[in-house]
Homo-oligomer: A and B are copies of this chain.
């Protein structure tokens, strides 16, 4: 089997992103059922130019499990959109003055700067809640409950990943660390890894796993996708930290050097730039290695892992 070229991967990512953005727009509640201000605020952040990395991963994992792309896509798309809503809510709340106090995100003023803090809190709450409404929606011909069982499994996995034992727990650790770290050594390597495993890793894993669940993956396939996404999420986070040091602020759409200025524990601060880059490559290698032996190598997952460590924004 010949490996697809990088151009083909790019086409694949762009086509998924286009589909995701169309579906997100269609799935958001609008006036008059939804008060206009909160609908506008949700839309502002949801369409602020995100990479759609997590929902792409959901669809790519579903594609890797099942060769019938059209059917698989329809099954996995609600989960993909829900995960992007959850990711967006987490950014809105993370940017608030009581948290990271960020005024710019992806080259635009953050939501609370434009709509005020109260409305930003509510828009985040609404996106998180809407994600679960969307995940739990069943067609009228819901049938015998097989699909319902898959949906429940995906909801449970996503909620655990997004909640106190996952993403929100990681945010809490980060919030406390930012308040106390006189220098980066206030958190050790195990602590840094635990924080990131929760803060970004858990939802990235759930993104991929939800795709595999919705595409009816075997327990072995779901386990392998989970292991793949664990490596991928780690690589993604290390690259994020590295880009905060060496990245191009214009391309990233945010202030670089902010982590260091805030004395945030990061991989470059703890291991230096070169070793951080090596750790990212090793994590991506581990991700690819997890795909062997469970019939997932025909999909795009390995290419996506390579892309994550090569990205510059």
Residue positions of A touching B, CB distance < 8 A: 29, 33-35, 37-39, 42, 89, 93, 96, 98-99, 116-119, 121-122, 124-126, 128-130, 132-133, 135-138, 142, 144-146, 148-149, 151-153, 155-156, 159-160, 162-165, 168-169, 171-173, 175-176, 198
Contact = CB atoms under 8 A, between A and B. Distances in A.
Contact of A145 (B37, B133, B146, B176): B146
Given A119-B175, A159-B136, A164 B130 contact: yes
A136 B137 CA distance: 13
A194 to B, nearest CB: 9
Contacts of A159: 129-130, 132-133, 136
Nearest to A93: B121
Contacts of A122: 93, 168, 171-172, 175
Tallying the copies of this chain within the complex gives 2
Contact of A168 (B126, B151, B156): B126
Contacts of A96: 118, 121
Contacts of A156: 133, 136-138
Nearest to A156: B136
A119 B169 CA distance: 10
Contact of A39 (B35, B164, B176): B164
B128 A99 contact: no
A195 to B, nearest CB: 9
Contact of A121 (B99, B144, B153): B99
A227 to B, nearest CB: 20
Contacts of A165: 29, 33-34
A160 to B, nearest CB: 5
Given A121-B99, A121-B121, A29 B126 contact: no
A145 B148 CA distance: 7
**Which 7 A-B residue pairs are closest in the complex by CB-CB distance?**
A145-B145, A133-B159, A98-B117, A129-B163, A148-B148, A136-B155, A136-B156
Contacts of A163: 29, 126, 129-130, 133
A98 B120 CA distance: 10
Contacts of A160: 133
A118 B98 contact: yes
Contacts of A171: 122
B168 A118 contact: no
Given A34-B164, A128-B129, A148-B148, 5 more contacts: A29-B165, A37-B172, A39-B164, A138-B149, A142-B152
Most chain B CB within 10 A, of A129, A138, A173, is at A129
A159 to B, nearest CB: 4
Contacts of A121: 93, 96, 98-99, 121
